[in-house]
Amino acid sequence: MTSKPQQITNASLYLLPVVIGNLVPLVTLPVFTRLLSKEAFGAFALANAYAVVVSGIAAVGLPVAFDRNYFECRADGEPARLLYSIVGFVSISYLAFGLLTWLFRAPIAEFVIGTTGYDQLVIWSFWSTAIVGVKSYYLAYLRNSEQAGAYSAYMIGERLLAAVLTLALVAGMRMGVLGLVIGQLLASLAVLAVLVARFLRQFKPAFDWRLLRDALTLGYPLLPRIVIGAIGNNLDKYLIGQLTSLGGVGIYSIGQRVATIAFTYMTALQNVFYPQVYARMFSDDPDVGKSIGRYLTPFAYVSTVLAFLIAVFSEEILTVLTPENFRGAVPIVTILAVYYGIQFFGRLPQIAFARKTHLISILAAVTTGLSVTLGAAGIWWLGTIGAAWGALAAGAIAITLTVVLGQRCYKIEWESRKMTAIFGLLVACAFLTVALRAMDVPYLLRLASKLGAFAAFIWLGVGLRIVTMENITLVRDLLTRRTRRTDMARQES
């Protein structure tokens, strides 16, 4: 198992692109929200939703299969053959679905967005998502082999390049919302080219039908889950467009974009604990369930920090980032931050490890049914904000079911009291923030309550012995040592 100092070093490396990647929207969002209308953001969100659904179908569940089988075939020295086999298959699949998207671009745009005027946006959104999909396998290889430095470098490079290109296309060349998509596509394509060159130098291209067949056997039962899950995750925006307006979709998408920062942060931490959890599951330790539970508690707290901050301080964040006409997204940000915060329990590989991937598809069907029902009811009752409440309610039920089924597949002995305290405080403080704003409590009192809530969260970390001087010193020393090595390398060059 990787040592604690190395895991903290890896965590800092995985978090670095998240920090930079989240600073980019902080810089660019004020520009984009002043150059693009709410309707343009709505069209962008719906086109992206289509791209996510279709690219998910094209991938046939292979991202999950690659993560699981990487560790199973690592002892045989075959992960590179697995990578090339899967990448070759999904590339052909993306080409086929891309051709279909181009042929039927007009009716797709009319059905998804409500007008054929955004047909080009639909095409470019699909290709941008497809390139990201191919690139993700190379990055997953680096993550699973714990090459955190390389992973971080590629992610940072892509996000900085994407920021420059999207700003140039939207603000400089006045391409409108299409510039958001094309800028990201070009950045992803450039990084993919570098990754392909790197792997070709290291590993000879190879195709192994046996490894691909096994991955497809594991992945194809996930196809219903992928389709249903992708539809469920994006159906709220479609329903908002149908039941309210395209501008409402834009407001919701801005709120979702800010709240999603918490999810990307959690995903970065997952890159640290995910390989460790899988490695423990494949070990022969008789107390592995208990050790995994103890191991995950600090990650649960740390992964919730950003969701807590975004949920509690959503009003201040949007005041800085957006003009007045986007402030209706404030409660949406708070509610969705809680939704993304509790997704920690959905990031564990218990069901996939047990090779019962059909259960994931069943869960996705149930979750989508809940999302449709609760989302539509929320939108009908409360408008755009109702979609966020529906997503949270459906997500909470789905996470509960996921935990129950996951424990049946592979039991993790959670530290229940600690986990209840962490997530209970997140939910309580977020709901308090929404209630105080809805009651129009004076801002200074709201701000004081928010600062008190954050102090309580830090105090909880101290009480759980997660926020300790030992851990703070260890993180500081590791980061300082890394900074010194970087400075010395620069001086030598």
Biggest CA–CA distance in the chain, Å, is 65
Which is more confidently placed, 24 or 377?
377
Supply the mean pLDDT for the chain.
84
- Residue 493 inside a domain? The answer is no
Instruction: Note the pLDDT tens digit of each residue in 182-211.
Output: 999 999 999 999 999 999 998 888 888 988
pLDDT, one tens digit per residue, over 225-247 is: 677 767 766 777 888 887 777 88
Residue 290: per-residue pLDDT: 87
Report d(CA 317, CA 334) in Å as an integer. Answer: 11
Cα–Cα distances in angstroms (integers) from residue 110 to residues 39, 57, 104, 193, 250, in the given order: 15, 21, 10, 34, 17
Asked whether residue 337 is assigned to any structural domain, the reply reads yes
Under 8 Å between Cβ of 189 and 132: no
Domain that holds residue 87: 4-488
- The region of weakest confidence among 13-17, 76-80, 381-385 is 13-17
Least confident of 141-145, 283-287, 395-399, 429-433: 283-287
Residues 358 and 18: their CA atoms lie apart, in Å, by 32
Residue 141: pLDDT above 80? yes
- Give the per-residue pLDDT at 19: 66
Q: Is position 207 within any domain?
A: yes
Query: Per the domain annotation, does 232 fall within a domain?
Result: yes
Q: Which are the contacts of 353, defined by CB distance < 8 A and separation ≥ 6?
A: 68, 278, 281, 409, 410
**Confidence bin at 488 (pLDDT 50/70/90):** very low
Which tokens belong to 411? 């039991």
Cβ atoms of 27 and 163 within 8 Å: the answer is: yes
- Which of 22-31, 40-49, 334-343, 397-406 is predicted least confidently? 22-31
> pLDDT, tens digit, for every residue of 30-46?
888 888 888 898 999 89
pLDDT at site 201: 92
484 in any annotated domain? yes
Q: Select the more confidently predicted residue: 336 or 243.
A: 336
The domain total for the chain is: 1
Structure tokens at 227: 């389709």
